[in-house]
Structure 1
Amino acid sequence: MMRKNYYRKLAFMGMLLIVLFAFQKYTSREKEDFPKLKFITASTVPLNLDDFNPNDLDAKQWRNLGFSEKQVSTILNYKKIVGGQFSSKEQLKKCYAISAEKFNELESFILLPENGKSKRFEKFGNTEKKEINVSKKFNPDGLSASEWIAMGFSEKQAEAILKYRNYLGGSFVSKEKFRECFIISSENYSKLEPYLLLPAKTPDNFRNSGGQYAIKSSIQYHPFDPNTLDLNGWKALGFSEKQASTIVNYRDRNLRGSFKSLEDIKKCFVISQEKFQELSPYIKLSAIANTVQKQETDFSKMDLNTITFKQLLEFGLDEKSAGSIIGFRRKLGGFVNKQQIMDTYNIDKEMVQKLISTCQLDTSNVAKYTLTDAPEEWLKNHPYFKYSADKIVFYRTSNFTDAKIWKMLKLKPEYEARMKLYIK
C-alpha cells in the first residue's frame, strides 16, 4: 500500500512539472512575440546629387536629400551618440533611419572613409606603407593625379585627394584644410607641410555653403530670373562651377525647365539657407508656361536598356519612377529581364507594367562574366554581387572553378539565381 502511494505521488509530481514547463514555454513565447519592426525608408535621391560630407549637413540639407523630419531627427541624434562626428561610411550605415537602399544611393557621394579600422581601408587610405618623396615647394591646388602618384601616393589615394579638393571648391585654401583630408596621414602631412605653398590658417571669410565650400566675395546682387540664368549667371552670384552646374541640372531635369516658386529654389540642396536669404530679395520669377514640345516616340520600338529619362516622362511616368529606373539600370549595367524593372524601388508599378508591356528589351550589350574572370571593381559595385565580392575574389585566388566558388559561397537560392543573370 505504501509503495502504491509512493508511485502515485511520483506520477503527480511528474505531471505537475510537465504542466509548469508547458506554461513557462507558452508565456515566454508570448513575451518574445514582438510586432514586426517597420524601418523608415527614404525617398529617391535627386539625380544630380553632388559629393558631400555628412558631418557638414544641417537638418534642412538632410531633408533635401529626401529624408523625413523624423528620420533627420534620428540621424542627428545618432550623430551625437557616436561623438558628434561620423567617422566612416560603415558607421553611418548603422543608423537605422537610413535604409539599405537609401544608403546604396548615397554611398558613392559620401566623403568619408569606408572603415577606418578595416584592412580594406588600410590599402586605400593613409596606412599604406609607401615612402612619400618631395624635394621642392609646391601648390597642391595645381597637382594632377599622376603627380600625386609620382610623389608616392597610390592611385586610389590620389583620386581621393582630388575628390576632396573638388569638394572644397577646387582649392585646399589653407594648410589647415589640407590637413583635414582623411586620406593623408599625420606622418605624411608632417613631411609635406614645410613644402606646401598655402596659407597656414583658413581665412575668416571662408564658409560652408550647402556641402560645398566657397569664399565670400563682394558680389553685386541685382534682380534676376532664375529660370533664364545659365551656368555663368549662377557663378556670378557666388556659386562654384560645380554648384552652378548642380542648380542648372536640378532646374532643367528635376523641375522640367523652370522654378515654379521660391520654395523650389530653396529645396536645391547646394543653396544654403544663408545664401537663399541673400538672394531672395532679388529673385524675380517669371510665369513661364511649360512650352516644351513633346517628342513623338514610338515606344513599341524603344529598348528599355537605352530609353532616356525624358522619354520615360513622355511615356507618363513621374520623375521619381523615371529616376529610380534609370539609376537602377545604371548600377546593374543593364536589365536582363523585365521583372527587374518591376522590382525597382519607388516606382508607379501600374505605369511601369504598361511600359514593359509596350517596349522591347535588348540584352545584347549587357556585360556578363564568369566568377573567375569578373573584374574586381565590377563585382564590388554591382548591386547583386557587392556583398559577396570579397569572398569571390578570395576564393578564386586558389584557382577554384565557378562551380566550386558557388558551392563555397553558400548563398540563398534567390540570391544565387539573380546573380547568375549576369554570369556567362
Structure 2
Amino acid sequence: MKRLLTYFKFNKTEQNGFFVILVIIILFSIVYSLLNRERKQEPIAHHARVFEQSFHDSTDVVDYPNKKFSTTAIHLEKNTISMDSSETHRKGDVKLFYFDPNNLSQEDWRKLGLSDKQIAVIKNYEKKGGRFRDKSDVRKMYSINEKLYKRLEPFIHIKKETTTKSTTDKPNLFYDKFETDKAELIDINTCDTTALMSLKGIGTVLSKRILKYKEVLGGFYRIEQLKEVYGVTSETYDLIKDHITISNLEGIKKIDINQIDAISLGKHPYLSPKDAKLIVNYREQHGNYANIEDFAKIGTLSDLAIAKIAPYLIFENDSR
C-alpha cells in the first residue's frame, strides 16, 4: 500500500485523507448490503399483502357494515360465475326447430340456446299479459340480442289469431258473403294463381312468379320469403301480408343432404354452386352430416345462410 501511495507521490496529509475515504466507502457498502438483504427476506409476504388488499378492494363493491358479510359476498360472486359458465357451456347443445314463442316451455327455450336469465325475462313478460303477435316482438325483448334474434328468426312461426265477426253488428246485406270471403286468409303454399290475383297489387305475371319461386324453393316456410320474389316490392308486401298465411309446413320438400350431389344442391336459391360444392366435398371428407349444427364446421357459410337453408334439409339425426 505504501508503495502505491509513494508511486502517486501522496504526502502524509493526502495519505490520511485517502484512508478516511476508503473507510467511508467500505462502511457504505456494508450498510447497503445489510439493507438489501432485509428487503429480499420478505418478498412473498409483501406481495401477499398487496394481493390480499387488491382482492378485498375488488370484492368490496358494496360497503358492508360488518366485514363478516364480505365472505358471503365472495361466495355469491363465485356461484354467479359458475352459473354463467354453465350457461355458456349449454350453448353447445343448441338445437334449432320451428316454434311459436307464445307459451313456449322453458325447456324448449333452453334447447334454442337461451340462458335461464333470458328465459326469466320472457316468462315475466308473458306473466304480465304480454304476447308475441309478430316476429319483431321477439326482437324487442331486451334479453335477446341481435345475433341471437337473427339465428332464431327463420324458425319463428307465430299462429295468427282468428277473430270472428258478429253478424248482429249490422244487417245481413247481400254483400256480407263477399266481404267474408275476402277476409279469409290465403295459404301461399296451397293456393293457385286465381287466389293470388284476388290480392291487391298481385296480377297475372306476379302470381305466376310467386308460384314458380315456391316450386324452386320447395315451399314457403315464412311469409317474409315473398319479398325475395322479383316484382314484390315493399309496398306490395305491406298490402298482402295480412291476407296470407302458411297453415302448415308439412308440404315443404326436403333435401337429403347426405345423398344429394353438388349440381342438384346448387340449384336451390339459397345456395350458390360454389357453396353446394363445398358442402358436398366436406361430407365426402368427414362423413355424413348428423344435424344442422355440422354446417357451422364448414367455416364458409354464414349463420344467416345456414338458418335460411336449414328448413329444407334432412339429416341422419333429424327429429324435425
Q: Sort the TM-score into its range (normalised by shorter chain).
A: 0.3 to 0.5
TM-score by length of 1: 0.27
- The structure number with the bigger radius of gyration is 2
TM-score by length of 2: 0.35
